[in-house]
């Protein structure tokens, strides 16, 4: 029996994949296959066939073909209008990570819990929910944060699959030992890129002290220092930018300061209007040109500025 595990390509998605792999292997003793997913793939996602006798989709948009689906993104059902099966589909946008949702569901609904994965789950929840300090990010002493930073380096599927396997086989032990070479090399390289990117960001970002909004245009280097707006501008409330990802593709990034969120503006809902997605405080939109990205940033900036001066309850 083959068990196909599809997961979002970030730390939360990786831990989610390891959790499900641990449970599914114990239950069915089948062969595990990992399939990383990126949000740029969402356009053709619903029509794509899934591989495996039993398939899981984790931390990603809903897919009708999945045997089981777990997610916490507010916008993950925007392309699906049908009913959910409470025995197979688990969706809770109130959870700060998909890993914590799976952790709870596996115990409460299926009577399964492996405490050897508890620390990884806690770190997935800390990272995905931005429950850390800028000092933690700058110093990057924790193994989990080092692995998280390694993912900002151009991570091909082979690396993500290998990480998922490491999490599955070694579980919390991976946080206590020295980093595997494949992770350490990427972490050190990403750390140096992070330093360079921060200096670059300081020079090109624009901060409006009246609204607390930071705007910028950067290459993919921004992924090495995505906390930069709040480190460079402590009074930043929202950051909006266009990232040149690869092959002349661009991404609009919209974030509320994770260290001082008000929850007044639903960023995920705004991004969904432009074909993107996200959460209450963070979102992204894939676009095909810099001009399109700049136009969208201008429109969202105006929406946020307008919402900031309205009484709570009147905003987007």
Same domain, 53 and 88: yes
Residue with tokens 């909006």: 240
- Strand, coil or helix: 40: helix
Same domain, 31 and 165: yes
Contact yes or no for 54/4 (Cβ under 8 A): yes
Write down the pLDDT at residue 76.
Answer: 85
**pLDDT, tens only, 19-69:** 999 999 999 999 999 999 986 656 688 889 999 999 999 999 999 999 999
Question: Any idea what the Cα angle at residue 10 is, between residues 143 and 181, rounded to 5°?
Answer: 45
Domain boundary among 132, 149, 183: 183
- Average predicted confidence (pLDDT) for the chain: 91
d(CA 99, CA 291): 37
Residue 55 inside a domain? The answer is yes
Indicate the number of domains in the chain.
2
d(CA 41, CA 51): 16
Here the CATH number for the domain that contains residue 232 is 3.10.310.30
Whether residue 314 has pLDDT greater than 50: no
Per-residue pLDDT averaged across 105-132, rounded? 96
Write down the pLDDT at residue 41.
Answer: 59
Residue 138 inside a domain? The answer is yes
Same domain, 209 and 148: no
Write down the pLDDT at residue 260.
Answer: 84
Same domain, 146 and 43: yes
Residue 92 inside a domain? The answer is yes
Same domain, 89 and 31: yes
Contact yes or no for 143/179 (Cβ under 8 A): yes
Contact yes or no for 210/235 (Cβ under 8 A): no
Same domain, 169 and 212: no
Closest CA to 18 of 153, 93, 124, 108: 124
Contact yes or no for 115/107 (Cβ under 8 A): no
> Of all helices (H) and strands (E), which one includes residue 55?
strand 54-58
Same domain, 239 and 177: no
Residue 313 inside a domain? The answer is no
The strand pair at 206-208 and 89-91 is best described as unpaired
Q: In what order do the strands lie in the sheet with 31-37?
A: 31-37, 2-8, 54-58, 68-71, 89-91
Same domain, 213 and 154: no
Residues 6+ apart with CB under 8 A from 314: 307
Whether residue 125 has pLDDT greater than 80: yes
- Our CA dihedral for 66, 67, 72, 73, rounded to 10 degrees, sits at 10
Whether residue 199 has pLDDT greater than 50: yes
pTM of the complete model: 0.80
Per-residue pLDDT averaged across 199-203, rounded? 93
Whether residue 311 has pLDDT greater than 70: no
Residue 200 inside a domain? The answer is no
User: Which of the four pLDDT bands, split at 50, 70 and 90, describes residue 315?
Assistant: very low
Give me the domain span that covers residue 239: 205-308
Per-residue pLDDT averaged across 111-130, rounded? 96
Domain boundary among 151, 183, 215: 183
Whether residue 113 has pLDDT greater than 50: yes
**pLDDT, tens only, 228-276:** 999 999 999 999 999 987 767 899 999 999 888 887 899 988 998 998 8
Write down the pLDDT at residue 313.
Answer: 47
Query: Rg of the chain over CA atoms, in angstroms?
Result: 19
Write down the pLDDT at residue 127.
Answer: 94
Whether residue 312 has pLDDT greater than 60: no
């Amino acid at each position: 029996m083959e068990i196909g595990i599809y997961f979002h390509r970030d730390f939360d998605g990786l831990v989610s994949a390891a959790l499900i792999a641990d449970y599914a292997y114990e239950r069915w003793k089948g062969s595990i296959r990992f399939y990383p997913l990126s949000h740029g793939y969402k356009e053709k996602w619903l029509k794509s066939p899934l591989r495996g006798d039993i398939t899981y989709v984790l931390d990603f948009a809903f897919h009708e073909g999945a045997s089981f689906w777990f997610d916490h993104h507010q916008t993950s059902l925007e392309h699906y209008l049908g009913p959910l099966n409470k025995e197979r589909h688990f969706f809770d946008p109130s959870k700060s990570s998909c890993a914590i949702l799976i952790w709870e569901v596996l115990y409460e609904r299926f009577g399964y819990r492996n405490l050897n994965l508890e620390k990884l789950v806690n770190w997935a929840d800390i990272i995905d929910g931005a429950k850390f300090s800028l000092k933690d990010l700058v110093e990057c002493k924790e193994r989990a944060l080092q692995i998280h930073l390694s993912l900002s380096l151009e991570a091909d599927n082979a690396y993500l699959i290998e990480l998922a396997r490491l999490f599955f086989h070694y579980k919390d032990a991976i946080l206590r030992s020295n980093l595997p070479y494949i992770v350490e090399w990427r972490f050190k390289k990403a750390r140096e890129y992070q330093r360079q990117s921060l200096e670059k960001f300081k020079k090109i970002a624009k901060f409006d002290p009246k609204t607390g909004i930071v705007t910028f245009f950067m290459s993919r280097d921004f992924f090495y220092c995505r906390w930069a707006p709040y480190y460079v501008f402590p009074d930043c409330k929202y950051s909006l930018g266009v990232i040149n990802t690869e092959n002349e593709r661009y991404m609009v990034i919209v974030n509320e300061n994770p260290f001082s969120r008000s929850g007044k503006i639903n960023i995920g809902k705004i991004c969904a209007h432009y074909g993107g997605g996200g959460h209450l405080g963070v979102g992204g939109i894939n676009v095909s040109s810099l001009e399109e990205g700049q136009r969208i940033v201008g429109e969202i900036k105006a929406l946020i500025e307008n919402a900031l001066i309205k009484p709570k309850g009147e905003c987007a």
